Each structure stands twice: as structure tokens, then as C-alpha cells.
Structure 1
Amino acid sequence: MKVVIIGAGPAGLVTCKTLLEAASEEYPFDPIILEQEDDIGGTFRYRSYENANLVSSKQLTSFSDFRLPLNHPDHLTLEQYVDYLRDYSKHFHVEERIRLGCKVVKMSRGPNGGHVITYISKSTEDPTQWDPTPITLYATYVALCTGLHVIPSIPSIPGIEHVLKTREDTTVQPAVYHSVDYKSRSQLAGRHVMILGTGETGMDIAYEAAKAGADEVVLCSRSGFLSFPKALNDFEVLGFKFESKNPVPIDSLITNFAETAYVHPWVASSHIRWFVSDFVIKRVLWVLTGTQAGCNQWVGELEPERLGRAYVFLNKSHKAMPYINRPYRSRPIYMDYVSRYIDPLEDMPPATNFAVDLAPFPTHFLPSGRAVFPLSKRKDAIRMARRDVKPDTVIFATGYTQDFGFLDPESGYATPSEADIRNVAKTGDETVAFIGFVRPGVGAIPPIAEMQAMFWVSLIKGQVRKPLPPPHYHLLVKETARIKYGVDHSTYMSTLAKDIGAAPGLWEVFREYGIHVLLCYCFGAAFTTFYRLVGPYRSSKAPEIIKTELWDTITRRGILGNLLMGLIPMMFYSYLNLTAFVLEKIVSILY
């Protein structure tokens, strides 16, 4: 059973490894990976830049049975993560299955079933050029793992060609480019920089521009953002400091029991868990930082109906926030003695008045090179309406799009947005999988890709439960939303695990592994390793990983942290789920 995997990023690598381990006499999977670049790693290798770190923790991002040492930092550099992927490929013999420099140009239906993959490879005479001679492969199954972040998305802004036209210093050349072409601080020093987009890349570049010594930095936001640090920093309450030399990653704080595992269908479908946590977090943030727009976020707030984990991707690149907040922070000084959030010292701006100016997206540029911003009641719009902004560097941190032009239009292939079986495959065409095409609000794509790969293999083998319950994991967005592939990480992971019989029961965990693993399963986040304790992908490595590395994420919260962010939420959600269970039984008796 030849399986062609397109893309050698994390999703492609883990899909190949999963297929190799699942191969049997009945299902003799024979996977190969086609990668058009000269190295593995995908976005993490080819769209990286200086000082870039993962915003998801190693505990969550690492694959379930191949972990990093405890003494590694929680958040790896992109170079470290690519090295991890290389080690992973070597350890599981995936590297032997990779064909680099192979670009898929067409995928069509085979005359007798299966799929015909046509690709071209790099020229042996000139490795910078493609040899036009097509090579054909026949595959029983195909996994598209080309990723969400591939082709730069660049919106059209009238007059952008006027950037820098009137600048007196003619030695400075205009620079208008997408963030994929940003590599180092040297591109920003001494320049008037405008960054379009307040995602994590935009935030990173704004911070890098401030640190590089840019003359001016303007960061433009379409409709706001929700800012949180990737790791909880220090707080002070009534003079008592809650400090940690080893801060807890934000993505390891959500508990499992009663919020992910053992959730009644009525509770799941209502999304009440998301709304309750949003309500509580907003009030806690207001008490601790003076604002509930985000963690110590004083500008760029989202509309009230979109503010919360149920609606948006959390922006965990928090370093630029002290620079952005500077013109807006207005908390009474006495409140800082009651409670305050302590930004990391290395992120704090110098004593000068330099700030990163937040602004709306410009509608156009005048012939003079001046940016024109739309008028609105947003705080940043009111402030920037009086500013004469003439950037000499404009960077589009506007994300990416995906192109599936190699799919033969006459073959009737679906695209990821049409994958109605858990966002992995299209009904009736389960031989084609889309792995890594959802993005979590809080979490990471690689572990999701691992669960999707396991789900797809189970789907092929006919081992997925039927009928599938309705999905309750998608982020709540309007029909007109630009991005519709958002999911709640823990809910999606748990759903896939239940579908394939890999979600362990509490008694089952206690009986087989004891109280230590059980406590970790209840208090921990939705780590993929939990779904290797039982079921078709059981791993002998899982218990030890859980009792060491994953247990460490729980103990680092401390007694108070586990009380406030663990025990109390679990008790509340347990009561909620029990109430729903009792009501369901009453209704079934009456009707």
C-alpha cells in the first residue's frame, strides 16, 4: 500500500512515522515523503527569522513518544525545533523515506483506483533549477501535509508605491515586503517601520524593530487581538510577590478532567465551559492588571462579542506589549500597590518615551508617502489620526494562504475546508487526508497533526466509532470570518482520541497505572501522550513520560495554582456535567 505524503514539515514526518508503526500484513503501508525544499522542517525551517522562538511549549509541541530533556528551555528557538525534527526522523527511520527537492505538480485519480502523483525534481546539473522531466508515482493513499503557512498573503493597499518618495535621505531605499522575507534586525535599524498585522509574527517584528533602534515603529491591526504571554510571569498582590524562576507555560494550564475528559454532550454543545472560563479570566485580569482586554493589554482590544478563547487565536508573542502600552496605560498608581503584573525586565522599554504605535490598517497612501488611517472610535485610531506617518519600510505580517493547484480539477478532489470527517478527510474519499490544516486557539499544530495521523490510520482500518458524534471543537466565528479553521486544542484532541478508542477512562488509568498517572491525567492539559496509555496506539513510553515531564508541568503551578486553576475548575465543571447527566435521565424517564 504505497502512501505518498506531500510535505516534510512536522505533520508530514509524524504521519510517515505513524504509518510505519501501523503497518501490518493486512495493511502493508509503504510511505514516502515528497518535499520540494532541500531540507525538512517546513515553515520552521524556511520562514524563520532571527530571535524567533516557539510560542507553544516543548511539553505540548513535542511528539508523544519522543521528548526533549527536562533541562531544555520550555520554548525552543526555531533552529532547536528543526534539530528536534531531524532527530525524530532519524530515530524512527523516517529520514530514509524522504525525497527532498521533489515538487508535486499534479495529483489525479488512477484509472483503476488510487492516485497518480506527478512530480519534478531538482536538476542534477543546476540544483537551483527544476528538471522539467515529470516523474510518476501510483499511490493507494495520499496525505497532504503542505501546511497552513505556505504562500504569502499580501492585501492590496492603494498608493503603497509612494512609500519613501519624498524622503530627504535618498540613500535609504524603500522596502515593501512580506514577513517571509524578514530575517534579522539589520533590516530595521534606523528606519521608519510600518508592520501590517498583529499576529505573533507582527508582534515579534515590532519588538525586534524597537530593539534594533528603528526611528519609528507603527504596528497596524485590522480589528484587534488578544494578548497573553507564552509563560505566566510574576504577579504582586498586596505586596506579596508570586515569582517563579521557571514560569508555567500558558498552554499547559487547562485541566483535563470534566473540561476535556468526561464532558456531557449537552455541556459540550453549549460551549458553556469556554464562556465560563472567559468570564472568570477577564475578571481576574482586571484585578491583577487593570484591564480585561488581555493580559496587561491597554489597547488593541477586540470587540466584546469576540473577546475570549471561544472566538480567537491567543497571541502569545507578548514582548512588544510594554512598548505598545506606553501611551495608553492609565491605571491609578495606588492600584499597582494592590496588584500588578510584572513584565520581564528584558522586554521593558528604556526610560525614553519611545513607543510602538498601534494603528488601524491604512486605507491608502498619499502621493507624499503619508499613510491614511480610517476614522473610528478606537483609541489607536483617534491618536493616529493626528500623526503624519511616512514609513520607509512596510512589512506585511498578514499571514499565508494555501494553494492546491496541483489537484486535478477533473478528479473532484476536496480541499481542507471541505474535509467533513473531523477536518481530516472528505466523506467518500477517505484515501486522501489533510493533516495539519487546523489551528488551535491555544495550543500547537504538531501534536494535533499527530492525533490526526492516528485518526486517519484508524479511519483507513475501519476502527473509528460510528456514527461520529457532532463536532463541538470549532472556534465560534461568523460566516463572514476570514479564518475558519480554528479549533479548541483540548476539545479537538479529546474528540479524536474518543473516536479511535484512545481516551482512557479514570478507573482504567487507576487500575493499570496507579494514582500518580491518574492525578496527572486529571490535572494535566490534553497532551498527546495521555492518548497513548490505552487503545490502538498504546505506548510503553507513555507512563514514564507522564510521571516525569508532564507531572513537572503540574507541580510547577504550586499549591495555590493547582487550587485556583485545577481543583476549583474541576469541581465546578464536574457539578455542571453531573447536573446535565441527571437532567438527561429525568427527561428520558418523563418522555
Structure 2
Amino acid sequence: MKVAIIGAGPAGLVTCKSLLDAATPEFPFDPIILEQEDDIGGTFRYRGYENASLVSSKQLTSFSDFRLPLSHPDHLTLEEYVGYLRAYVTHFGMSDRIQLGCKVVNVSRSPEGGHIVSYVRRSTETPGGWNTTPEILSVSYIAICTGLHVVPAIPQIPGIEHVLEVRDKATGPTPAVFHSVSYKSRSQLAGRRVMILGTGETGMDLAYEASKAGAKEVVLCSRAGFLSFPKALNDFEVFGFKFESKNPVPIDSLITNLAETAYVHPWVAASHIRWFISDFVIKRILWILTGTQAGCNQWVGELEPERLGRAYVFLNKSHKAMPYINRPYRKRPAFMDYLSRYIDPPEDMPPATDFTVDLAPFPSHFLPNGRVVFPLSKRKDAKRINGRDVRPDTVIYATGYTQDFSFFDVEGGYSKPSEADGRNVFKSGDESVGYIGFVRPGVGAIPPIAEMQAFFWISVLKGQVKLPLPTPHYHLLVKEQARIKYGVDHSTYMSTLAKDIGAAPGLWELWREYGIHVLICYCFGAAFTCFYRLVGPFKSDRVVPTIKTELWDTITRRGILGNLIMGLIPMLFYGWLNATAYILEKFWTRTRRWHS
């Protein structure tokens, strides 16, 4: 059963390894990875820049059976993560499964069943850099692992060509307008008047990098706001008493399993009430600690009220630029700062400055002289920026990416990830094509999701999943006209896939087989992939030491107060909510039977 895996990023690598582990005489999976670049790593290898690091923690991002040392810092640089992926390949002996410099040009249906994959190899002797004669691979299954970040998305802004003209006249042919994929180092920003379009994590990173590079001016443009949180909990004071940690807890390790992810009644899941209650509580805590509930110590760029919360948006965990953005807006009475105060981490790269990053709406157009025109708005940043003479000499599109599936044969009837109704992994009736890594969590990471998706897809191919699947309740809530619709709640999605394949452990089962230590870890821990390898078709004893050490560490680092506020109290409350729903369901069922 030959399997073509397109893409050698984290999703492609973990899919290959999972297929090899799952191979049996009845299902002799034989995977091969086709990667058009000359190295593995995908986006992390080819779309990174200096000083970039993961905003998701090593605990969540590492694959379930290949972990980093406990002493390693929680957050990796991109170079470290690519090194981790190389070590993963070597450790599991997958090097001979990876064909680098192989670009897939066509995927079509085979008359005998399965698929025909045509690809060309990189060539330094051929115009265009690729051989003209394709090679052919006949396969039973195809895993599309090309990722969400492929083709730069560049929205059209009238008059932006005038920025290029101004730059050319002033400083020569250095690019004045480019996408963030072309940004690599601070030298591209030093001494310039920089405008960054987009307030995702890359846009925030670039705003910070421009500030530290010595840019003359930095204007950061946001479409409709953002929700900012640090990737790890920082220090704060209450009544003058300082709560500080030398080893802060990663933000993606805080959401607990029991009653929020595990043992959730279908009525509670369908209502999303857990998300709404969580948002309500978090907003009040943020207001008490920081003085604002728009985000964590976020004083501008707030989302509209109907989109503010974990149910709607991707959390922006690139927080380093926020002190520069907040400076013109932060206004809080001194007595409130005495009651409670959030402490921004010290600037990690000198020199410390009083530099300000100006937040602004997306520009409507550019005038012939290069001046930016912003739309009128009631937003705080719009009121402050309008009327100012903003003329950037460098504009960077931090506007994300789109995906490219032009290799699919037009007559093959192939679907796209947006049409994959089988848990966002396959289209019903066409399970032989799997999309791995094409959802994005609001809080979490794509690599562990890709590992669970690989487990799920393999289970479907083996006929171990009962179809049709129950109605999902893991998608983030978006409007019909929303640009991005592939958002999911990390823990809910992971738990759903685990239930589908029979890998969601029961509490009694865990206590009986592994003891109280593992049981407490599962209840208080986040939705780590390791938990879904304790039972079920992908059970592995290798995850138990990880749970008892590394994942246990994420719980103990919260301290007694943290586990009370973020663990025990939510468990008791949501436990009561789910128990109430269960009792009402039984009562409703019996009443209907009595009436019938």
C-alpha cells in the first residue's frame, strides 16, 4: 500500500512515521515523502527570520514519542525546531523515505484505482530549475501535507506603487514593498520609516524587530483588531505582593482536560457554553490584573465585542511589541496599579528605549507623493493617526498566505481542505486522500494536531472508525463572510479525534492501569497528544515517563494558587454543568418515552 506524502514539514514527517508504525501484513503501508525544497522543515525552515521563535511550547509542540530534554527552554527558536525535526527523522530512520528536490506537478486518478503522482526533480542544468521529464509514482493513498503557509497573500492597495517610486528616487533599488516571506534580518529595517500591514504574530514580531533595529518610524496596521497574550505567564503584583516565577508557565499548557475536554456532555459541547464562560471569567481577571480586558495588558487594537474571546479568534502570542504599542494609550489610576499590576518582561534585546509603535487601520490608499490615507473610524488608533503625515519608505505585507493545489488534475474530482467534511481530514467517499495540518488552533500548535490527524486518517483507512461521524463542535465561531474558516479549539479538536479512534482514556481505566500519578496529570493537564496514546490503537508505553515528568512539571509549576484557579475550580464548575446536562437528558428521555 504505497502512500505519497507531499511535503516534508512537521505534518509530512509525523504522517510518514505514523504510517510506518501502523503497517501490518494486512495494511503494508509504504510511505514516501516528496519535498520540492532541498531540506525538510517547511515553513519553519524557509519562511523564518532572525530572532524568530515558536510561540507554542515544547511540551505541546513536540511529538508524543520524541521529546526534548526537561532542561531545555520551553520555547524553541526556529533553528532549534528544524534541528529537532532533523533529529526526529534520524531517530526513527526515515531519511531514505524522503525525496528532496522533487516537485509534484500532477495528481490524477488511476483507472485501476488509487492515484498517479507525477513529479519532477530539481536540476541546475535545465531552464526553470526543474527537469522537464516527470517521474511517475502509482500509489494507493495520498497525504497532502503542504501546509497553510505556501503562497504569500498580498491584498491590493491603490497607489502603493508610489512608495516604490519614492524609495527608488531616495535610496536606490532596494525593495520598498515586500511580503514578510522576504524578511530575514534587521538590516532590512534599520533607519527606515516602516509600515507593517497585518497584526498577526509575524506582524507583531516585525514591529518589535523594527523598533530594535533603529527604524525611524514604525506604523503597524490592523484590519479589525487582535487579541494579545504572552506565550508564557509573566509576573504581576497584588496589593504590593509580587508574584514572580523564574520558570513561567506556557500559556498553551493551562487549559485543563477534565470536564472541559474530557467528559463533556454533547449538549454542553454543542452550546459552546464552556468557551463563553471561560471568556467572561478571563476578561474580568484581566481587568483586575492589568486594567483592560481587551487582551493581556492590551490598551489598543481591541476586537469588536462580538469577536472578543477564545471562541472566535486566534490568540496572538507574539507579545514583545505590546509595550511599544501601549505607550500612548495606557491610562490607569495609580491606586489601581497599587491594587494590582501586570509587569511586562524586561526587554530581551538592548538597548531599552522609549520608542513608540503607532497602531493604525489598514490604509485605504496611497497618494502620488507616497503619503498614506487611512479610513475614518472611531477606533482609538484611527483618531490618533489620522491627520498625521505618514510616508513610509518601507512597506511589509504581513498578511499571511494562501494554499496552492494546482497539481490536482482538473478531471480527478479532488476536493480541497475546505471541503474535507471528515474531521477536516478527508472528504466523505474519498478517504484515500488525507489533508494533514490544514486546521489552525485558536490556542495551541499545528504539529501535535497533525499527529492526531495522522492517527485518525490511518484508523479510517483501516476501517477502525465508525462512519458517519458525530456532529463536530470544535470549530471556532466565524461569520459567513470570514476570510479564514479553518480555526479550531485545540483541546476540543484533539479530544474529538481521540474519541473517534477509541483513544480517549477513561478515568477508572487510567487509575487501574497507570495509577494516581498519571490520572492527576490527565485531569489537570492540557490536551497533550501523549494522553491519547495511553489507550487505543496507538497505545505506547514510551509516553508514560513523559507524562510523569515533563507534563507533570507543567502542572506543578502553576503552584497551589494556579492549580486552584485554573484547575480545580473550573473542573468543579464544569463538572457540575455536565452532570446537570446528563440528568436533564435522562429526565427528557424518560418523559418522551412516557408520553409515547
Q: Is TM-score (shorter-chain normalized) higher than 0.5?
A: yes
Deviation at 1:467, TM superposition (A): 3.7
Deviation at 1:370, TM superposition (A): 0.2
* Residue 151 of structure 1: aligned partner: 151
Q: Does 1:101 align with 2:104?
A: no
* Residue 70 of structure 2: aligned partner: 70
Q: Does 1:92 align with 2:92?
A: yes
* Residue 365 of structure 2: aligned partner: 364
- Does the 8 Å contact 2:212/2:351 carry over to 1? no
Q: Does 1:574 align with 2:581?
A: no
* CA shift digits 1:287-316 (9 cap, x unpaired): 000000000000000000000000000000
* Residue 530 of structure 1: aligned partner: 531
3-state SS of paired residue (2:170)? coil
* Residue 380 of structure 1: aligned partner: 381
* Residue 585 of structure 2: aligned partner: 584
Correspondence list, 1:457-536, <5 A: 457-536=458-537
3-state SS of paired residue (2:531)? helix
Deviation at 1:147, TM superposition (A): 0.1
3-state SS of paired residue (1:208)? helix
Q: Does 1:193 align with 2:194?
A: yes
Gaps of 5+ in 2: none
Number of aligned residues: 591
* Residue 206 of structure 2: aligned partner: 205
- Partner letter of residue 564 of structure 1? I
- Does the 8 Å contact 2:19/2:29 carry over to 1? yes
* Residue 312 of structure 1: aligned partner: 313
3-state SS of paired residue (1:32)? strand
Q: Does 1:16 align with 2:16?
A: yes
- Does the 8 Å contact 2:20/2:30 carry over to 1? yes
C-alpha separation in 2, matches of 1:463 and 1:352: 59
Correspondence list, 1:156-175, <5 A: 156-163=156-163, 165-166=165-166, 170-171=170-171, 173-175=174-176
Deviation at 1:171, TM superposition (A): 2.7
- Does the 8 Å contact 1:122/1:128 carry over to 2? no
C-alpha separation in 2, matches of 1:82 and 1:163: 36
> What's the C-alpha RMSD, in Å, of the aligned pairs?
1.4
TM-score, length basis structure 1: 0.98
C-alpha separation in 2, matches of 1:253 and 1:460: 34
Pair 1:127–1:19, CA change in 2 (3 A): farther
TM-score, length basis structure 2: 0.98
Pair 1:108–1:554, CA change in 2 (3 A): same
3-state SS of paired residue (1:133)? coil
Deviation at 1:92, TM superposition (A): 1.1
Pair 1:425–1:166, CA change in 2 (3 A): closer
C-alpha separation in 2, matches of 1:185 and 1:127: 33
C-alpha separation in 2, matches of 1:167 and 1:15: 46
C-alpha separation in 2, matches of 1:401 and 1:519: 41
- Partner letter of residue 305 of structure 2? P
- Does the 8 Å contact 1:252/1:553 carry over to 2? yes
- Partner letter of residue 88 of structure 1? Y
Deviation at 1:93, TM superposition (A): 1.5
Deviation at 1:127, TM superposition (A): 10
C-alpha separation in 2, matches of 1:352 and 1:204: 17
Deviation at 1:417, TM superposition (A): 0.3
Pair 1:336–1:137, CA change in 2 (3 A): same
C-alpha separation in 1, matches of 2:119 and 2:229: 43
Correspondence list, 1:170-249, <5 A: 170-171=170-171, 173-249=174-250
- Does the 8 Å contact 1:105/1:118 carry over to 2? yes
Correspondence list, 1:23-102, <5 A: 23-102=23-102
* CA shift digits 1:485-512 (9 cap, x unpaired): 0000000000000000000000000000
User: How much identity, in percent, do the aligned residues show?
Assistant: 79
Range 160-169 or range 427-436, more displaced: 160-169
Deviation at 1:110, TM superposition (A): 0.2
3-state SS of paired residue (1:20)? helix
3-state SS of paired residue (1:257)? coil
C-alpha separation in 2, matches of 1:117 and 1:350: 53
- Does the 8 Å contact 2:452/2:494 carry over to 1? yes
Range 415-424 or range 118-127, more displaced: 118-127
* CA shift digits 1:397-448 (9 cap, x unpaired): 0000001011011110000000000000001000000000000000000000
3-state SS of paired residue (1:584)? helix
- Does the 8 Å contact 2:167/2:176 carry over to 1? no
C-alpha separation in 2, matches of 1:335 and 1:123: 65
C-alpha separation in 2, matches of 1:552 and 1:168: 54
Deviation at 1:333, TM superposition (A): 1.8
* CA shift digits 1:82-137 (9 cap, x unpaired): 00000101111222100000000000000111000000001264698111111110
3-state SS of paired residue (2:177)? strand
